[in-house]
Amino acid sequence: MTKIKNSTVLITGGANGIGKLMAEGCFKEKASKVVIWDINETNLLKTAAEFQKKGFDVHPYIVDVGSSRDINSTAKKVLKDVGPVDILINNAGIVVGKPFAEHSDRDIQKTLDINVAGVMRVARAFLPTMIERKKGHIVNIASAAGFIPNPNMSVYAASKWAVIGWSESLRLEMEAMKGRLHVTTVTPSYINTGMFDGVKAPLLTPMLEPDYIAGKVIKAIKKNTIFLQEPMMVKSIPALRGILPTRVFDFVAGNVFGVYKTMDKFTGRAPKEAASEKKSLTAKKK
């Protein structure tokens, strides 16, 4: 069992949404320090101030996880200023919701840089100290989209398929090293954080509330859960895809459950919030 109490936790994308809720959950579990990485300076400082007001030991850093240079330089600062990270939660991610033919090269590259390369690079930055100390827990927030194709989110789905394959491979490598080294892969359906505004949840797969999935992740860390799949219907996807012929699965997923139409009216985060994130990153680079 991984102990959150007295541990140092790092959460990417931790200034709002489930990232912020997971940070709060870790503090409630008596984590000694929580390091928050986020690209949005306004949200980051606001969240840090809230936690500090409650007496929590929080360490905020403005980081673009799509930048290898940003990740490596900030990781060195964290290791020097805060110390080794016991629990790493790779939570930061983006989604571009439109047909693949309409994707720009920038859409594709940014999604892969943040959702795939970013996750791997952050883990790589802190993995050596975990291996050296023979203790550490890495949590990778993937998605149910990593199990099933879906129109209007092809690049996002591809990025999450990649994360699942990498995360499970990393888990096997870490388990082979012995010690207390763990990996948890989280594959939730749509979460009601604003990231998927406009989405219509599939039949029998309700939109997940942020506090619910954040609490589930905290419990999964404590239990060393290998795979956290929420809600229940997500667990059936791999089995159904393995059993049913492709055309039959497409009919069931698309026409019965309505999965393939979930992104038809996708809008995503409000333009004001997206602009704020872009402004924070631009200011940081000047």
Q: Check if the beta carbon of residue 115 is closer than 8 Å to that of residue 161.
A: no
State in Å, rounded, how far the first CA of the chain is from the last one. 44
> Nearest 5 degrees, angle CA 218-CA 222-CA 223?
115
Question: Which residue shows structure tokens 């992740």?
Answer: 217
Choose the catalytic residue: 156, 190, 212, 260: 156
Helix/strand/coil for 5: coil
61 is catalytic: no
The closest alpha carbon to 58, from 10, 6, 103, 102, belongs to 10
Q: Residue 84's closest CA among 40, 25, 37, 137?
A: 137
Q: Do 13 and 90 contact (CB within 8 A), yes or no?
A: no
Tokens of residue 239, six digits: 């089995």
The CA-based diameter of the chain, rounded to the nearest angstrom, is 56
Residues classed as catalytic: 156
